Each structure stands twice: as C-alpha cells, then as structure tokens.
Structure 1
Amino acid sequence: MIYTVTFNPAIDYVVRLDTPLQAGTVNRAAGEDCVLGGKGINVSGILAQLDCPSVALGFVAGETGAWLERGLAAQGLQTDFIHLASGMTRINVKIKAGQETELNGAGPAIPPQAMEALQQKLDALRPGDILVLAGSIPSSLPVDTYERVLERLQGHSVRAVVDASGRLLANVLPYEPFLIKPNHHELAEIVGRALHGDEEITAAARELQEQGARNVLVSMAGDGALLLDETGAVHRIGTPKGTVINSVGAGDSMLAGFLAGYLQSGSYQDALRLGTACGSATAFSLGLASRKEIDLLLEQL
C-alpha cells in the first residue's frame, strides 16, 4: 500500500480574471473553482486515476477540514486524517490574471500529541509499504520532522519517498530513502554548484545516491527528466508536446505516475515513462490530469 502524508492540506480557491489584477480596487472574476490539495493529496489523486490504491494521511481542522475530507471521499480517495481540536484547514487564494498571484493560508497549529497520533499510524505500516513525504514542514512542527519520522521507521522495511528541497531533503539521505525527487534547481542548491547538462546533473544525483538515496529522480521542466536508479543505470526522457497552462501539482503527478509505473511493471524505465506522462498531463491541464489525458500523452513517449 502507498501512504501519502500532507502536513498542511489546503482548499485552493482559484479565481480567473479576464484583465490584469488591479490592486486597491474591485476586481470581478470571470470564473472560479475550488481545488482540494496539498502535495501528498495530489499524489493520492493521480494514483487514484491510475487505479493504484493509496491512503492519504495528515491533519485537518474545522469546517474547512470537514469540507476537504468529504470532497476527497467523493473523489474516491481513501483518507485517514488526524482531526485537530482547534484552528481550520487553510484556504489558499490563486488569482490567474495573465500572471498568477497566490495568497497562501498559514493553516492550523499541530500540537505534539497530534504529531504522535500520526506517528502511531505510521508505526502500523508493513514491510514493503511506500510512505510519501512531500512538501515543506509547517512552522508549528520541528524542522527535523521528516528525519524523526524516518528514524522511527528504521527497521520496518518501509520504502520512503521524499519530495522536498534544500536541507529538508539532504538531511533524510542517511535514512536511505527508496526515492527522492528534486528538480534540477533544487539538486544544484543541495550540491552547492550550478549544473549544466545531463553529465553534471547525473554526477550530482550520484552524490546524493552515495549519501544514501536509492533512486534519484530529477525533474527538469520542459527538458524532461533524468533518473539514476539503484543499480547505477541512468534513464533519460524528454517531454511530450503540449502547452503548459498549470504548474501546480505537475511534480506531484510525476511522482505518483513513477510509483504506479514501478509497482505495476517493476521497470524503472516504464516508471519514468508513466511519471513523465502524468506530470506533463497535469501541466497541460487546468487541474490534476485525468486518466484519459495521461493515456493520450503516454502514447507519445
């Protein structure tokens, strides 16, 4: 089973304007949508499209949390959230008016007893299960939360997947995660130098592998992706043709597609191919990609 963790899920209120956003005056929307999300939830959403079951874990609070939970259930996602006694699940405002402007909520504080309740759920994971830790750590939790989670799971034979940036990612390498997914900019930040071309990116990925990561998946936006797998083999793929209209959730979609592809085929090359199709399909869509959109792009790769 795949378990995803979203520490600070959100309801994204997406507003579309036909004209540029004008500060200090009334702006009237041409359209609006509510999207239920957070990086781990996005991963679970694409996994559901691929008929790959998962359980979305994390924290919800207040009426917005109840709304989010009901909405995910309506989408067919299995959830097992910790319900916080105070606060409210955040609402993020995304204004699309030529340029995109975002106003992200802070979200509820997560007390130590709630984090312990989540950790107890993780203690029940079985050997071979996959745990996806994605995104930043809320300010109410210690900055070493990912490390604490993985340290407590040592010896459980759980395959950890981490999609984070900077020290948050670098610090989990000693726990030998099954997969990490930096983009090429995040990879350059971690190794402390600019990276130009596949050879330098591969060398940097190998440094992270030597520090503990089993597989390193490097996304490179329009240039495709590069995978350094646990055997030392390098896999490279481009992107299908299409117009990018949405960057939100594309990386999460790639991660979900990679995991589903690997579990279904046992092949890292096939996993990379499905992951690329999923990431691109979301980038070419207004929201998370559908199975039909994914399958159409898969034919191009």
Structure 2
Amino acid sequence: MTNPTPGQTVSGTITVAANATDNVAVSSVQFLLDGQPLGNPVTAAPYAASLNTTTSTNGAHTLSAKATDPSGNVGSAAGIAVTVQNPTPPMTCFVLQTSVTARGTGTVQTGAFSTVISGEVLLAFVSMDGPGGAAGQSATVSGAGLTWRLVGRANSRSGDAEIWTATASTVLHNVTARSAPAKGGYAQDLTVVAFEGATGTGAVSTGGAASGAPTLTVTTTAATSLVLAVGHDWDKAVARTLPTGFAMLDQCVDTAHGDTSWSEYTNQATGPAGTPVKIGATAPTSDQWNMAAVELLNSGS
C-alpha cells in the first residue's frame, strides 16, 4: 500500500493506491475496505481506486489490497489503519510521496518515479559545480511530461543552487526528470520530490557569501507551510551541521571534486503567515556558499 499512510486521518474522497509486481504479470489488484471489496478490480498500473469516506462511519478502518496473477496466485498487502473523520477536520497534512536523487557530471537524469494522486506538487533541487566566479553556472530542469518553472537561482558565488517546480495534473507513472547545466563537464546533484497536500510555492529567498554559516530567511506568505532549501559549497567536501528543527533531504559530500551539495526542510509546518523561517546550516563557516529556499504552500487538507 502506498496511499494513504498508516495512521492517517482521512475525509471526503481520497485515493487508495498500491504497488504490485509479479515475475510474469499482474492480472488485477482488488482494493479492500475492512476486508470487503472497494470498487472493481484494477487491471492496469497505476493501481488506484477512489474511496468516498462519507459512506463509512467515523472512526477506525483498515485498507488493504490483493493482487492476482494470470495463474490465479494471490498476494495480499498488509492492512493499514486509518481514521475516517467527516466533515473534514481543520488540519494540514503534507505527504512526501516520492523522493529521487541523481548524481553525475553534465546532464543528470533521475531513475523512474511515480506519483499517487493528481495535483501533486513537484520540486527539483539542483546543486552544481561550475567555473569559478559569479554567475558562471546555471541549470535547466525538464522531464516527466511536465512544464517546469524556475523558482529561485543562487549563483552569486562559484557554483550554483536552484529550485524548480511543476504540478502534475494527472498521476505520473514511471517518469524521469533531468537537469542540464549551462556549462558542461561539472558535477551536479539533482533531487526531485513530490508532495500531496500542497498547492504550490510561496515566498522565495536566494543568496550566497564568501564565508559564514550558510543561512537564508524565508518569511511565509501563508499559515502552516513547509520551507525547503538547497545549497552548494564550492570550496570543500564537508558535511553540513543542521540546526534543531531541520531535516536533511539529501547530501553529497563529493571528495572527488572537493565540494558539497545538500537539501533540507523544516520537519514540521510553520506558524501563521508572516513567520520568518531561518534555514541553512550552522557549520562549516569558512567556505563560500550558494543557497536557494522556498515556501511550500499547504492545500488545507
């Protein structure tokens, strides 16, 4: 089972999804609500069904699925417990549905990834080496059949850190994304994430410095947002030390090229609109850096 997540509170109409594989083929996937069939069997990937939770009682329920192959063999997914609460409770729930990272020299491409529901917001974090000096490097993100938009670019110091975004109006299945550098031959790190429960991006902050702790401040434009950032250290391959309240999304300490790429995020939603959120690292403090940070807006569900 890939959606919803165990222990999640659900309301209204939700998407129930699962992954299924077989050494020959998967004939169908039947979703189950409290052990009873939920809709008709799904005969092709992506395997998903809609559940109108208003037809169920408020309280605890169990979702599961069983897959059948052409020989009639059946495999069952472990059940996940959810809580139905209607009408929709006032809450914010960001769900990170996918996260893929690619590293390499020149243009890099992620492995195949999928989303779970329509409307997921994707963010691409690019951290890239480049020639010395300001504005010497930049990137272009594409792929997954989406229209990507540059959110923020930080290249006032050597190297580059960028954030791009796209919204998937339909469910994506086994797609890839890529990042192409303006100046080839340099190492880069590309991380792509997809969020359920988001409506797009809000405030953006970019910057860089010759030294000091890499830090940016994002002042939120809405309540209960997330703040995410990507950074690049052109000088050394040294791991970042994050302040309390932040989680590492990805980090590449590249000793072969002598630089560091990382991305991070607030590990809980922010406060009301107008909240200043300081994001970055407390160490090292002696290297030049570029950083870009963005507010991810919640959908209120």
More helix by share: 1
Q: Into which bin does the TM-score normalised by the smaller protein fall?
A: under 0.3
Question: Does 1 or 2 have the higher relative contact order (CA < 8 Å, sep 6+)?
Answer: 2
Instruction: Report the TM-score, using the length of structure 2 for normalisation.
Output: 0.26
Instruction: Report the TM-score, using the length of structure 1 for normalisation.
Output: 0.26
